[in-house]
């Protein structure tokens, strides 16, 4: 069966990118440079005193740890009845402050940038200031004249809502039907206006964009096209190098860094991929993971139609319990940016997400949300590509720490 037939049949598939190019060759042609990612990293740093105080944290650094999950590895080896060469690492973006998901990178970053630009233009903030002054009432009054809007399946809305409301902005989140009730409740409890649609993610984004255009004081966070979101995510990829060095891990040809990233519209995994590429060039191999019901990025890349094709066009329904990945049409901006950098994409069935959840929970006592487990199919899928090598596998856990106890119990069941 050819690829599209397999996607239509909702079979799990691996697509290996035939257009991969060495990083050095494509870098000169890219419109986003390493300096841009470093500038984003520095902006995060300026905001550390604010984040620390505003969210009552031990540190204002928006970063997550990397765990080695040996017990999971043993569980999985036992399940599949064979040894896995290499180490398995879990990147804990489920624990990121503010949003409890990878959206704490991109979503938070874009709002910080808007706030900083507005305050500097107004002459009430300097880059050299201690940014915790942003908690003063006069800043809230100032930011309150502006509205931030976003369309989301849940987590992006949560991240934008939490950071924007803390700064004092008015916030409107346009939620797709996939969004979980607890996410809407949490936002409303924080003074965020939530508008619900009986439609999917693309519609929520479209409505948000339209509403925002009506108001000159409104900023729309455009998940499908935003370079700032992308930069916020890219910082996470770049930071991995230092973290792994601290763990004594230095990937090379025989020990490549193989990273599995759950993908929705593409901004999160795309940005992280780019940061990783800047740090590791061709030693890092990135694969995106999507539900069999919503393989939008795979479809866009494989057909080269990017945002001009959706999973509905091949008869799929975009219905999945991986709510964070329920996106039918990928970002055209991200797809085109990464088309020669990504190693491949694969799909995962909803049932498998729960299988991996059980495995991770029983072996490591770690709970992450279903979307976050999509990458766990990667090891078996790419096995033949790495025979004779001993990779460092990174499963990028993209969300989960804010899931309420009662929802956890349901999911684990
Ligand atoms: C948003 C999200 C992703 C994917 O990010 P995109 O930018 O939509 O591709 C993955 N996992 C979780 C939990 C998410 O919330």
- Ligand 1 atom at shortest distance from the alpha carbon of 223: 7
The verdict on 72 and 147 lying in the same domain is no
Same domain, residue pair 257 and 338:
yes
My answer on whether 13 and 26 are in the same domain is yes
Report the atom number in ligand 1 closest to the C-alpha of 233: 7
Q: Are residues 71 and 90 in the same domain?
A: yes
Our count of domains for the chain comes to 2
Residues 305 and 359 reside in one and the same domain: yes
Do 153 and 278 fall into the same domain? no
Are 233 and 295 members of one domain? yes
pLDDT of residue 2: 94
Whether 269 and 106 have beta carbons less than 8 Å apart is answered as no
pLDDT number for residue 178: 83
261 shares its domain with 361: yes
Q: What residue's CA is closest to ligand 1, atom 8?
A: 264
Tell how far the Cα of 152 is from the centroid of ligand 1, in angstroms.
10
From 225, 248, 272, the end of a domain falls on: 225
pLDDT given at position 70: 98
Domain of residue 16, residue span = 3-98+228-412
Q: Measured in angstroms, how far is the CA atom of residue 103 from the centroid of ligand 1?
A: 7
CATH at 332? 3.40.50.1100
Mutate to test the pocket of ligand 1, among 260, 324, 368 (most ligand atoms within 8 A of CB): 324
76 with 120, same domain: the answer is: no
Interval between CA 114 and ligand 1 midpoint (Å): 22
* Residue list, ligand 1 pocket, CB within 6 Å: 101-103, 155, 262-269, 324-325, 327, 369, 371-372, 398-399
Given 225, 241, 265, the domain boundary residue is 225
Regarding whether 246 and 357 lie in a shared domain, the answer is: yes
> What global pTM score does this model have?
0.97
* Chain segment 265-299, per-residue pLDDT in tens: 999 999 999 999 999 999 999 999 999 999 999 99
- Looking at 204, 225, 246, the residue that finishes a domain is 225
* Same structural domain, 197 and 248: no
Q: Do 240 and 377 lie in a common domain?
A: yes
The pLDDT score that the predictor gives to residue 200 is: 86
pLDDT < 50: residue spans in the chain: none
């Amino acid at each position: 069966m050819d690829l599209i037939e397999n996607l239509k049949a909702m079979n799990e598939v691996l697509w290996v990118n035939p257009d991969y190019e060495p990083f050095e060759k494509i870098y000169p042609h890219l419109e986003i440079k390493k300096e841009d990612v470093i500038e984003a990293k520095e902006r995060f740093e300026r905001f550390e005193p604010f984040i620390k105080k505003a969210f009552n944290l031990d540190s204002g650094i928006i970063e997550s740890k990397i765990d080695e999950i040996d017990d999971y590895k043993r569980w999985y080896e036992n399940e599949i009845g064979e040894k896995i060469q290499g180490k398995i690492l879990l990147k804990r973006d489920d624990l990121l402050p503010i949003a409890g998901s990878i959206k704490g990178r991109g979503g938070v970053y874009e709002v910080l940038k808007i706030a900083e630009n507005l305050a500097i233009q107004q002459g009430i903030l300097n880059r050299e200031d201690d940014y915790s002054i942003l908690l003063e009432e006069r800043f809230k009054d100032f930011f309150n004249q502006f509205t931030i809007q976003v369309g989301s399946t849940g987590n992006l809305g949560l991240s934008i809502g939490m950071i924007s409301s803390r700064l004092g902005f008015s916030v409107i989140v346009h939620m797709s039907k996939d969004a979980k009730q607890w996410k809407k409740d949490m936002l409303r409890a924080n003074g965020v206006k939530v508008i619900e649609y009986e439609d999917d993610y693309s519609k929520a984004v479209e409505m948000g964009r339209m509403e925002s255009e009506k108001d000159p004081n409104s900023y729309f966070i455009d998940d499908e096209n935003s370079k700032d979101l992308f930069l916020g995510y890219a910082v996470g990829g770049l930071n991995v190098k230092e973290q792994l060095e601290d763990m004594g891990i230095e990937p090379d040809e025989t020990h490549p860094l193989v990273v599995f990233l759950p993908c929705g519209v593409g901004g999160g995994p795309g940005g992280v991929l780019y940061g990783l590429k800047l740090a590791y060039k061709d030693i890092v191999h990135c694969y995106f993971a999507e539900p069999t019901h919503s393989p939008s990025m795979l479809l866009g890349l494989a057909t080269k139609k990017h945002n001009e094709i959706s999973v509905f066009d091949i008869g799929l329904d975009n219905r999945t319990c991986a709510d964070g990945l329920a996106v039918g049409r990928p970002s055209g901006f991200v797809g085109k940016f990464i088309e020669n950098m990504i190693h491949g994409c694969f799909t995962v069935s909803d049932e498998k997400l729960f299988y991996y959840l059980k495995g991770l929970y029983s072996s490591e006592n770690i709970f992450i949300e279903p979307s976050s487990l999509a990458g766990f199919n990667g090891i078996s899928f790419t096995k033949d590509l790495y025979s004779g090598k001993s990779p460092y596998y990174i499963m990028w856990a993209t969300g989960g720490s804010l899931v309420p106890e009662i929802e956890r119990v349901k999911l684990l069941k």
